[in-house]
């Protein structure tokens, strides 16, 4: 374990609260506790202590004090926690007192987590999971972040990396120890099967409809349709507040207006866009261009038309992983059109009224159903960031190239496998070569 200086910081949020937590990590942590309060402090016990200023002896606060000796702490170092009263003056006084002890300095952003990484407490996916857990706004995001924090992704990546290292060891053995009798003739066939299995398994995880990333970032729901159909009114209705300007004038909305919502536990970003029409107005045309871009990036398009005028056909191509919900708004006006028959079997039209809220429950259910389908299609989705996906796609490409090139020299196969191992190592933050040597020496009786 590397030894660093001792750092401290407020670990709880800012603002007045019942309790505030100051965390201290590093070799001087115990020293600090001894200077702040008297009496024995047992490891991992909560002690109620009176804190006094180490220099002036002034009374500071009554606090709960905890002590986690290395390596059994979040950072892997000696850690002290002070649970003090959460008022501004108390926090300022205790922070000043802690800072007055020699050898302590304020932590930089993310420094506790960085130390836990350097001390092998967390790998990179664990760090990402903690940041996702703290940022989680809905229940589903919380569950996903927790699964990742408990090793969902890193176990899989390490398993794949171990398999790659194993294959690489075989190939290396073929190169370096070709005279060894332990390395049989069928090494090549054996290796091809193993590479193919691994490639297929990674590909299965990549084919998860981007469920993990979508859940982490929130589903992109885009309200689009002809001008004046009531798109902005729909956004306001879903957000339950007056976000976008509504007017009877066609062409009111030009910019894309976004609202983040929690729909039955699923995070969604709902965007209101400019009405699609040819108008000759330069600014509105820019709005239409932005609307079309937004539709292309949507997970779900809410195609909204005005039920009181002639139906505007939906004539856009959508990707296989995009969903379309067709809405006929203003059903409060023309009740004969309030519950239209489905025009296209594959995509029924929902009658809604942005004015009265009629049909909103069904609309929210439809969005939740799609979110559930995406989630269950990636039931065990473990890829939660573009960083993971890009690296895994590169690995699948390289493995495919190795498999497709029949006359690739062993040296080149080994080099390609090494690149894949490095990519996987970079995902978790493990980039050592010692493991490779271990496998070679364990599996073969080289160097008799
Ligand atoms: N009766 C009724 N009127 C509605 C309903 N929804 C919207 N309106 C009215 O329709 C007009 C246009 O509403 P907006 O929400 O601004 O429509 P939009 O689609 O955003 O329009 P643009 O931004 O110009 O494309 C306004 O006068 C709204 O009050 C509805 O469900 N029922
Ligand atoms: Mg509008």
Give domain status of residue 276, yes or no: yes
223 and 372 belong to one structural domain: yes
pLDDT score of 445 more than 50: no
Average confidence score pLDDT of the chain:
87
- Between CA 70 and CA 87 the distance in angstroms is 30
> What mean pLDDT do residues 258-272 have?
93
Residues 315-372: pLDDT tens digits?
888 888 899 999 999 999 865 554 444 454 456 889 999 999 999 999 999 999 999 8
Scanning 84-123, the segments in alpha helix (DSSP H) are: 88-99, 111-118
Residues 63-96: pLDDT tens digits?
999 999 999 999 999 999 999 999 999 999 999 9
| Whether the Cβ atoms of residue 148 and residue 128 lie closer than 8 Å to each other | yes
> What mean pLDDT do residues 395-401 have?
96
Domain boundary residue among 377, 404, 428?
377
Give domain status of residue 266, yes or no: yes
CATH code of residue 282: 3.40.50.300
Domain boundary residue among 377, 403, 423?
377
Give domain status of residue 123, yes or no: no
> What mean pLDDT do residues 161-167 have?
90
Q: Is the minimum distance from the CB of 257 to ligand 1 under 6 angstroms?
A: no
Least-confidence region, from 151-155, 184-188, 215-219: 184-188
Least-confidence region, from 138-142, 183-187, 355-359, 362-366: 183-187
- Between CA 124 and CA 430 the distance in angstroms is 9
| Residue 178: HSE in the Cβ half-sphere, 13 Å Cα cutoff | 5
337 and 196 belong to one structural domain: no
Provide the number of structural domains found in the chain. 3
Q: Tell how far the Cα of 135 is from the centroid of ligand 2, in angstroms.
A: 31
CATH code of residue 144: 1.20.120.430
Q: Is the minimum distance from the CB of 250 to ligand 1 under 6 angstroms?
A: yes
331 and 251 belong to one structural domain: yes
Q: Is the minimum distance from the CB of 230 to ligand 1 under 6 angstroms?
A: yes
- Between CA 172 and CA 446 the distance in angstroms is 12
392 and 417 belong to one structural domain: yes
Which is more confidently placed, 311 or 234? 234
Domain coverage including residue 433 = 139-208+384-443
Least-confidence region, from 202-216, 389-403, 423-437: 423-437
Give domain status of residue 92, yes or no: yes
Domain boundary residue among 359, 377, 395?
377
400 and 335 belong to one structural domain: no
266 and 341 belong to one structural domain: yes
Task: Identify which of 144, 167, 157 has the alpha carbon closest to the alpha carbon of residue 213.
Answer: 144
Grade residue 207 by pLDDT with cuts at 50, 70 and 90.
confident
426 and 292 belong to one structural domain: no
Ligand 1 pocket, mutate which of 229, 230, 275, 290 (most atoms under 8 A from CB): 230
284 class by beta-carbon count within 10 Å (0-12 exposed, 13-18 middle, 19+ buried): buried
| Residue 329: HSE in the Cβ half-sphere, 13 Å Cα cutoff | 23
Q: Tell how far the Cα of 294 is from the centroid of ligand 1, in angstroms.
A: 20
277 class by beta-carbon count within 10 Å (0-12 exposed, 13-18 middle, 19+ buried): middle
CATH code of residue 26: 3.30.1360.120
Residues 92-105: pLDDT tens digits?
999 999 999 999 99
Q: Which two tokens stand for residue 4?
A: 């660093």
pLDDT score of 378 more than 80: no
Give domain status of residue 129, yes or no: no
Say how many C-beta atoms besides its own lie within 10 A of residue 107's C-beta: 20
Give domain status of residue 131, yes or no: no
Grade residue 186 by pLDDT with cuts at 50, 70 and 90.
low
61 and 81 belong to one structural domain: yes
In sequence order, which residues have a C-beta less than 8 Å from that of residue 224 and are 6 or more positions away? Answer: 231, 273, 276, 291, 294, 295, 301, 302, 303, 304
The set of long-range contacts for 373-377, using a CB threshold of 8 Å and a minimum separation of 24, is 374/209, 374/211, 374/214, 374/215, 374/219, 374/299, 375/140, 375/211, 375/215, 375/266, 377/208, 377/209, 377/211
Give domain status of residue 432, yes or no: yes
């Amino acid at each position: 374990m590397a030894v660093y200086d001792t750092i401290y910081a407020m670990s709880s949020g800012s603002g007045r609260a019942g309790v505030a937590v100051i965390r201290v990590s590093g070799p001087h942590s115990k020293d600090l506790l001894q200077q702040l309060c008297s009496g024995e402090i047992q490891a991992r016990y909560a002690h109620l202590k009176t804190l006094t200023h180490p220099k002036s002896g002034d009374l500071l606060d009554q606090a709960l004090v905890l002590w986690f000796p290395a390596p059994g702490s979040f950072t892997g170092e000696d850690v002290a926690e002070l649970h003090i009263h959460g008022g501004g003056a108390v926090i300022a006084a205790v922070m000043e007192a802690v800072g007055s002890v020699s050898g302590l300095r304020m932590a930089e952003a993310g420094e506790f987590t960085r130390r836990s990484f350097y001390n092998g407490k967390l790998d990179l996916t664990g760090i990402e999971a903690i940041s996702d857990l703290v940022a989680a706004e809905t229940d589903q995001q919380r569950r996903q972040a927790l699964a990742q924090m408990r090793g969902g992704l890193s176990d899989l990546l390490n398993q794949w990396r171990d398999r790659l290292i194993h294959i690489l060891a075989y190939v290396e053995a073929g190169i370096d120890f070709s005279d060894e009798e332990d390395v049989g003739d069928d090494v090549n066939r054996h290796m091809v099967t193993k590479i193919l299995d691994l490639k297929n398994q990674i590909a299965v995880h990549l084919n998860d409809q981007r469920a993990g990333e979508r859940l982490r970032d929130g589903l992109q729901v885009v309200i689009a349709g002809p001008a004046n159909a009531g798109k902005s009114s729909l956004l306001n209705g879903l957000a339950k507040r007056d976000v976008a300007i509504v007017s009877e004038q066609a062409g009111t909305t030009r910019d894309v207006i976004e609202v983040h919502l929690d729909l039955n536990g699923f995070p969604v970003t709902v965007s209101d866009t400019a009405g699609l029409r040819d108008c000759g107005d330069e600014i509105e045309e820019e709005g239409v261009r932005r609307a079309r871009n937004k539709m292309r990036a949507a997970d779900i398009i809410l195609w909204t038309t005005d039920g009181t005028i002639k139906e505007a056909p939906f004539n856009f191509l959508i990707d296989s992983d995009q969903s379309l919900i067709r809405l006929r708004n203003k059903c409060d006006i023309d009740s004969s059109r309030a519950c239209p028959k489905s025009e296209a079997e594959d995509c029924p039209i929902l009658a809604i009224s942005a004015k009265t809220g009629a049909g909103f429950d069904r609309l929210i259910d439809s969005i939740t159903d799609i979110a559930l389908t995406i989630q269950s299609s990636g039931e065990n989705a473990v890829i939660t960031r573009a960083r993971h996906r890009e690296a895994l796609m590169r690995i699948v490409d390289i493995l495919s190239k190795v498999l497709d090139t029949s006359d690739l020299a062993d040296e080149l196969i080994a080099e390609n496998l090494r690149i894949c191992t490095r990519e996987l190592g970079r995902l978790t933050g493990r980039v050592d070569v010692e493991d490779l040597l271990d496998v070679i020496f364990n599996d073969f009786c080289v160097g008799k």
